[in-house]
Chains A and B, each alone.
Chain A
C-alpha cells in the first residue's frame, strides 16, 4: 500500500524532440502574421455572420451545416472580446478595430499546426519508421493549400484536425488492444476516438465519412476478435484476462507442459548446476539445471529474445513471435540462455541434456537457438498466443525438442522433474508441447528492475464485458442534407479538377497592390501523392494475388502494416473524395483538403515500403534515398515559390504573377494599370 514511502517517487518523462520541433515549426508556419490581412477573406464573410449571431446571442436557423464548428469559431471571438458588431457583407472589406482578427483566426491556425505532429504520430502508430513519420509531417508542413486554409477563419483545418485525431486515437486504441485491453489508456483512446469522430461530424457533415471509415476498420477488427477463440472460453478467459495475447520479443512468460504428467509443471531453472559426475559414473556439462517445477515460482519466468537483438524488453510496437521464428529463451532471474547439447541427460541417457548455458570457457560452445513450432496453428503465419498456442521448441543445431521426461531428479535436483531434449524424428508426444500460461510484456532493461518485475504478480484485470458490438450501437446515423442549387460560383470546380489541381480560388486581393491570397496546392506534393496512391493500389493487388498463390513477398507483420496503412490512408482519401461525385451542391477546391491529407499520409508509407522491400541492394537503397531527398527539396522549392500567394504578404509584379500562372485555369489576378 504505502509503496511510495519505501521507494522514491520518480517521474520519468519521455520527450520526443521530433514532436516538439514539429509542433514548433507547425505553429510558426500557421501563426506567423496571423492577423494579416486585416480584411474579410473569402468564406470568412460567411462564417463571420454566424459568429456575430452567436456574439449577440441571436437565434438563427442555418441549413448549411452543424453548429459545432461555428461555435468553436465563436469561442475565439468570445475570448478575444468580440462584440459581434461588424457587417459581414463583402469579401475584402477591412475589419473595424473591434474585430479581434487574431483570436478569431487562432483556433483554425492551432488545429492546422497540430495536424503536423499528428501526421508524425499516425505514421509511427501505423508501424512505420521515424524517418517516414518525419517525412509525412514535413509534407504537411509545406503544403501551401493546407497553410492557406488554416490561417483564415475557416473550418477545413478544424475538420482535418479531428479527422486525424480520430484516426490517431483509434490506432493507439487498437495497438493497446493487443497489449492491455480494458486498461486505462485503452479506454482513454477509445473514448477519444469517439469524441474526435463526433467533433468532426459536428464541424462539417462530411466528417461522417472518416467516422464511417474508422467504424469499418473497427468492425473488421471486432470481427476478428469475435473469431478469436481466446476470448471468453470459460475458465481460460479468466487466466488470459489482462494478459497480452500475442507473445512478442521481450515477453516474459511461464511455460507449462501440456502433457502435465506425472504432475502439471512449469519450465524452471535455478542457480544450482548439474553435478559434475552422476552416481552411475556418467559425466555432465556441469551447467545450470533446467527442470520442470510443479509450483508457481519466480524462477519459472523466461524471456523470449530475438537472437539478432540485445534488448530484453518489448519494443513499440511489439513484434509478435510467429510460427517458424527462431528465438532464444533467457531465464529471467539468472539471465542465462536455455541451451542443449550432445550430452546425455541425467536420467534419460538416450536424450540430450538441457541446461542454462554457463560459459566455462572450455571448448563447449553455447547452442541456444530454438525454432518455434506452433502445433495447433491455423496457418503458417500464426502468432504465438498466450494459453492458446501449443508449441514445441525445436533446437536448431540438433533438431531435438524440449520435452518433459517425467522422471524425478534426485536430491541434487530438489526432486523436480527432468527436462530433456528428445529427437523430433522419434515422433510427436504431448510431453514435448508447452504453452504460455502467464505472460507480460517486459519493460525493464536493467537486471535488478527486471527481478523486481518478475516478483510482481502477473497482470490480472477485473471482470470484462463480452459485448464487443455494444459500443457500436451508439451509432447515430445522420443523413447528409445536401442543398442543391444548380448554379455555380465563379470559383467552384468539379471533383475531377481537384486531383490534377486544375483549379484555384482567389481568396483575397490587396485593395491597392497586387498582393493576394490564393488557395493553391503544392503541385509536387499533389502529383506525387496521387502517384503514391496508384503505386499503392498496384502493389497491393500484386501482393494480394501472389499471397493467394502462397508466395509471400512480405513478412507477415509488414504485410499487415501495409494493409492497415492502405485501409486508413488510401481508404481515408477515397471516402473523403469519391462521395463528392454524387453531391449536387456547389463544390470548391477546399473540399478536397481532407482527402489530400490522407493521401499525404500514404506517401511516405509507400516510399518507405519501396525502400525497405523493393530496393534490394544497399547502393540501390542509397540511390533511392537520394532521389527522395531531391524530390523533397523540389517540393520545398515549389512551396517557397508559391509562398507569396499563400501568405499574401508580398506584392508581385505582373510578370512575376504571370510566371506563377503555371496552369491556364488558375485564376491569378493581375492588375491592369
Chain B
C-alpha cells in the first residue's frame, strides 16, 4: 500500500495536470496519473512525431475555427430587415451613437459594444429601428451584425479548447465543436444584432480562462497563472456587464475558486501566509478587477449619454439635471413654491416616479370607487398638480392677488391639473397594502371635502419655512386621518395600468417612501432663477441606475393569457422563436435548436448522471478501478462535473424567476450541455472499447461510434439549415416546402 499522503494528494488533485503550463510537471506526478494520461491519447506518440502532432493540433483548431466562421458569416446580410429584438438593441446602439439617454433593464456593455461596432463600420445612427420587419435600405447594418457573428463564431473554438483542456482528448473536443457548429439555434442567435452572442462570448471566455488557469495551479504566481486569472476576472466583468444572467458564470467561477482555496488551505505544506497570498490574488483578480471594469463601463455609459432622451423619467430629479436638453439641465425655474404653482411631485425613493392620476376609477370592490392615484415613471401631463389653499377655490393666479408662498405646516389641497380632482384619502384599505389607507382623486372642479386637506411638512428645514423646488424634502400628512402620503412600490394589477400603488400610511415612521420633492414648477407670477442642482456623485448614480434596472426587470411580468415559454420547454426543444416572417411568402427565420443535437444533449445528461453516480458509489465503496478506467472516471467526474455544474447554474435559476422568459435564455446552458455531451460520449466509447479486450475491435468500435456521431450531426444540420439561413415558400405542412417532413413536433411553427 502506498503511503497515505501521496495517494491522498494524487486523488484530491482536482485538475488534470497537463497543458500549457503543465508540461514540466508531468514528471512530478505519480506514475499512475501519468500512465492514465498517456493511456488516454489514442496512440502513444513517438518522440519524433511530437512536432508533427503539435502542428496537427493547431491545424485542427484552425479548421474548427474556420468552419465556425464560415457557417456564421454565410448569408449574414439576409434578411435585410429588422429581425426580432434587433429593434431594441439596434435602437440602443443608435442611442449611443446619438448620445441620447435611455433606459434599459440590461447593463450597458453589450449595447455599447454594438454601438461602437456600428460607429466604426460607418453606421451613422439615423435608422429608427422602429419595428421588426422594417427594411434597412441604405443604412449600414452589416458592421453590427458582423460584430455579433464574429463573437458568436468564437464560441466554437472556445468550447473546443475547454473540452480539450478538461479531457485531454481531441476527439471529445472535436465532437463538441461539431455539435455547436452544426446547431441551428446557436447559428441563428449569432447572426443578428442581439446581446446573446456577446453574453455567450464572455461566458465561454471566462470558462476557458478559468480552466486554463486551473491547469496552471501547479505553478502559482507565474506569468501565465496571473494572465489567465486576470483574464477570468475581465471576462466575468464582461459577462455581467452585458446581462445580469452573467451572474451565473460568476457563481461558477466563485465555486471553483472556493474549492481551490479550500484545497490550498488543507495543504499543510503551504504556510498561512502563502494561502493568504493566494486569497489576495484571487480577491484582486476576481473581485476588485471585475468590479472596477464593470463600474468603468457605467462611467463610459454616463459620459457618452449626455443628452436628454426617453429614459429621463426613470431617474431622480438630480440625475436628470445632468442631461442636456432636460428641463432640469441648467434649469431656470421659480425657486419657492407659491399657491397656484403647477408642479410635479417625485418620490425620493429610487425608481418610484411621479405622483400621478388619470381618468380611471378604482375597480369595484377595491376601496371607494373613485379616481386612481398612482406613481408613474414616465413624464406625462397627468403628473401635474396645482397647489391650492384648502379653504378657497379662487384662482390664485389671478393677477389681483398678491403672491403667497407655501410654508412649512400649511394646510393645502393638491388639485390634479388634467382632471381637476383633489388628492384625497379616507378610511378605506389601500388596494395592495391593506394596512394603509386608500388615496384617490375626489371632487368636481376642485370642490371636494375635508378629506382633501393635507399638511405640508419640510423634513430638512434648513432654508427657512418656504418650500424650495428640488431641494426641500417634503411630507404630506392627511389632516383627518393623520396618515402620510407614500408609495408602497408595489405594482398595481392591470386595472391600474401596472403603475405603482400610492397609499396613505398610518405609521409615521420616516422612510423614503413617504418623502417627496417638487421637480417641475410653473408659476408665471414668479421670477425664474437659475438653479445649480446638487450634482449627484458617481456612486449615487450607479446605485440609482441599478435600482431602476432591478425594478424594471421585476416589472417584466408575463401578461395574462399571453403564451409564455416555460423553462422545462427548453432542453427538449419544445418550441422555437420566430425571428422573421410568418406567411409562406415571407423570408422566414426560426430560432430552433437542431433537434438531433439537443436531444442528444438531453440523453447525455441522463447518461452522465447514471454513469457518474455508478462511479461515485464504486469509489466510495473503495473499489480499485483499473488504471485506464480510473483515468477516464477522473475526467468524467471532474471535468464533466464542472460542465454539469455550469449547465445547472445557467438553467435551474430560471425556474425561480418571476419575469417573462424566452427560449433564447437557454442557450448559455446549452453550450455547457454540448461540452458535457462531448466528454461523455468520448469517455463512454473509450469504456466500451476498453471492455472489448481485442484491440482491433476496440479501435473499430471507438472510431465508428465517434464518426457516426459526427456525421449524424452534420447530416442533421444539412436537413435543418433552412431554419437559420432562411426559408421562403410554403410552410412545413405543405409537401412542396423545403422543410417538408421535418416538422417533428407539432409545437414547431415553421
Contact B434 A229 (CB under 8 A): no
Q: Answer whether residue B140 sits at the interface, using C-beta atoms and an 8 A cutoff.
A: no
- Which residue in chain B gives the minimum CB-CB distance to A488? B434
Distance (whole angstroms) from the CB of A454 to the closest CB of chain B: 34
A545-B265, A549-B265, A665-B507 known; A226 and B432 CB under 8 Å?
no
Distance (whole angstroms) from the CB of B55 to the closest CB of chain A: 45
Distance (whole angstroms) from the CB of B637 to the closest CB of chain A: 15
B432's partner among A488, A491, A582 (CB-CB below 8 A) is: A488
Report the interface size for chain A: residues with CB under 8 A from the other chain: 21
- Which residue in chain A gives the minimum CB-CB distance to B268? A550
What CA separation (Å) do A316 and B431 show in the bound complex? 59
Chain A residues with CB under 8 A of B429 = 490
- Which residue in chain B gives the minimum CB-CB distance to A227? B620
Q: Answer whether residue A278 sits at the interface, using C-beta atoms and an 8 A cutoff.
A: no
What CA separation (Å) do A590 and B447 show in the bound complex? 46
What CA separation (Å) do A487 and B491 show in the bound complex? 11
B272's partner among A487, A491, A549, A584 (CB-CB below 8 A) is: A549
Contact B432 A486 (CB under 8 A): yes
What CA separation (Å) do A492 and B430 show in the bound complex? 14
Q: Answer whether residue B735 sits at the interface, using C-beta atoms and an 8 A cutoff.
A: no
- Which residue in chain A gives the minimum CB-CB distance to B656? A582
Q: Answer whether residue B617 sits at the interface, using C-beta atoms and an 8 A cutoff.
A: yes
Contact A549 B268 (CB under 8 A): yes
Distance (whole angstroms) from the CB of A581 to the closest CB of chain B: 10
Q: Answer whether residue A14 sits at the interface, using C-beta atoms and an 8 A cutoff.
A: no
Q: Answer whether residue A512 sits at the interface, using C-beta atoms and an 8 A cutoff.
A: no
Chain B residues with CB under 8 A of A664 = 507-509
Q: Answer whether residue B493 sits at the interface, using C-beta atoms and an 8 A cutoff.
A: yes
Interface residues in A652-673 by Cβ distance below 8 A to B read: 664-665, 667
Interface residues in B414-454 by Cβ distance below 8 A to A read: 429, 431-435
Chain A residues with CB under 8 A of B435 = 488, 490-491, 667
Q: Answer whether residue A616 sits at the interface, using C-beta atoms and an 8 A cutoff.
A: no
Q: Answer whether residue A310 sits at the interface, using C-beta atoms and an 8 A cutoff.
A: no
- Which residue in chain A gives the minimum CB-CB distance to B507? A664
Interface residues in A542-568 by Cβ distance below 8 A to B read: 545, 548-550
Contact A226 B620 (CB under 8 A): yes
Contact B4 A378 (CB under 8 A): yes
Contact A487 B432 (CB under 8 A): yes
What CA separation (Å) do A223 and B429 show in the bound complex? 54
Distance (whole angstroms) from the CB of A189 to the closest CB of chain B: 25
Q: Answer whether residue A309 sits at the interface, using C-beta atoms and an 8 A cutoff.
A: no
Contact B656 A488 (CB under 8 A): no
Chain A residues with CB under 8 A of B266 = 548-549
A548's partner among B262, B507, B621 (CB-CB below 8 A) is: B262
Chain A residues with CB under 8 A of B402 = none
Interface residues in A619-673 by Cβ distance below 8 A to B read: 664-665, 667
Q: Answer whether residue B622 sits at the interface, using C-beta atoms and an 8 A cutoff.
A: yes
Q: Answer whether residue A489 sits at the interface, using C-beta atoms and an 8 A cutoff.
A: yes
Contact B434 A490 (CB under 8 A): yes
Residue among B431, B432, B434 having the largest count of chain A Cβ atoms under 10 Å: B434
Chain A residues with CB under 8 A of B433 = 488
Interface string of A475-495 (1 = CB under 8 A from B): 000000000001111111000
Contact B622 A487 (CB under 8 A): no
Contact A226 B434 (CB under 8 A): no
Chain B residues with CB under 8 A of A550 = 268
Interface residues in B490-543 by Cβ distance below 8 A to A read: 493, 507-509
Distance (whole angstroms) from the CB of B265 to the closest CB of chain A: 5
Chain A residues with CB under 8 A of B262 = 548
Distance (whole angstroms) from the CB of B602 to the closest CB of chain A: 20
Interface string of B1-32 (1 = CB under 8 A from A): 00010000000000000000000000000000
Chain B residues with CB under 8 A of A549 = 265-266, 268, 272
Chain A residues with CB under 8 A of B621 = 226-227, 229
Contact A548 B432 (CB under 8 A): no
- Which residue in chain B gives the minimum CB-CB distance to A492? B434
What CA separation (Å) do A624 and B479 show in the bound complex? 53
What CA separation (Å) do A326 and B292 show in the bound complex? 57
What CA separation (Å) do A664 and B511 show in the bound complex? 14
- Which residue in chain B gives the minimum CB-CB distance to A231? B621
Residue among A229, A378, A486 having the largest count of chain B Cβ atoms under 10 Å: A486
Chain A residues with CB under 8 A of B431 = 487
What CA separation (Å) do A582 and B508 show in the bound complex? 29
- Which residue in chain B gives the minimum CB-CB distance to A550? B268
What CA separation (Å) do A168 and B262 show in the bound complex? 33
Chain B residues with CB under 8 A of A665 = 507
- Which residue in chain A gives the minimum CB-CB distance to B263? A548
What CA separation (Å) do A550 and B267 show in the bound complex? 10
Contact A486 B493 (CB under 8 A): yes
- Which residue in chain B gives the minimum CB-CB distance to A224? B620
Chain A residues with CB under 8 A of B434 = 487-490, 492
What CA separation (Å) do A582 and B621 show in the bound complex? 38
Chain A residues with CB under 8 A of B265 = 545, 548-549
Chain B residues with CB under 8 A of A667 = 435
Chain B residues with CB under 8 A of A491 = 435
Distance (whole angstroms) from the CB of A299 to the closest CB of chain B: 35
Residue among A223, A226, A488, A491 having the largest count of chain B Cβ atoms under 10 Å: A488
Contact A223 B432 (CB under 8 A): no
Distance (whole angstroms) from the CB of B655 to the closest CB of chain A: 10
Contact B617 A226 (CB under 8 A): yes
What CA separation (Å) do A656 and B87 show in the bound complex? 65
B622's partner among A229, A490, A492, A582 (CB-CB below 8 A) is: A229
Distance (whole angstroms) from the CB of B11 to the closest CB of chain A: 12
- Which residue in chain B gives the minimum CB-CB distance to A377? B4
Chain B residues with CB under 8 A of A488 = 432-435
Chain B residues with CB under 8 A of A492 = 434
What CA separation (Å) do A548 and B621 show in the bound complex? 24
Distance (whole angstroms) from the CB of B496 to the closest CB of chain A: 11
- Which residue in chain A gives the minimum CB-CB distance to B491? A486
What CA separation (Å) do A584 and B658 show in the bound complex? 10
Distance (whole angstroms) from the CB of B263 to the closest CB of chain A: 9
What CA separation (Å) do A229 and B507 show in the bound complex? 64
Interface residues in A50-69 by Cβ distance below 8 A to B read: none
Interface residues in A143-177 by Cβ distance below 8 A to B read: none
What CA separation (Å) do A229 and B432 show in the bound complex? 60
Chain A residues with CB under 8 A of B272 = 549
What CA separation (Å) do A548 and B259 show in the bound complex? 12
Distance (whole angstroms) from the CB of B182 to the closest CB of chain A: 36
- In the A-B complex, the 10 residue pairs with the smallest Cβ-Cβ separation, listed nearest first, are A227-B620, A548-B265, A488-B434, A490-B434, A548-B266, A226-B620, A229-B622, A490-B435, A664-B507, A550-B268
A227-B620, A487-B434, A664-B508 given; name 12 further pairs at CB < 8 Å. A223-B620, A226-B620, A227-B621, A229-B621, A229-B622, A378-B4, A488-B434, A488-B435, A548-B265, A664-B507, A664-B509, A665-B507
29 intermolecular pairs with C-beta atoms under 8 Å apart: A226-B617, A226-B621, A227-B620, A227-B621, A227-B622, A229-B622, A378-B4, A486-B493, A487-B431, A487-B432, A487-B434, A488-B432, A488-B433, A488-B434, A489-B434, A490-B429, A490-B435, A492-B434, A545-B265, A548-B262, A548-B266, A549-B265, A549-B268, A549-B272, A550-B268, A584-B658, A664-B508, A664-B509, A665-B507
Interface on B for A, CB 8 Å cutoff?
4, 262, 265-266, 268, 272, 429, 431-435, 493, 507-509, 617, 620-622, 656, 658
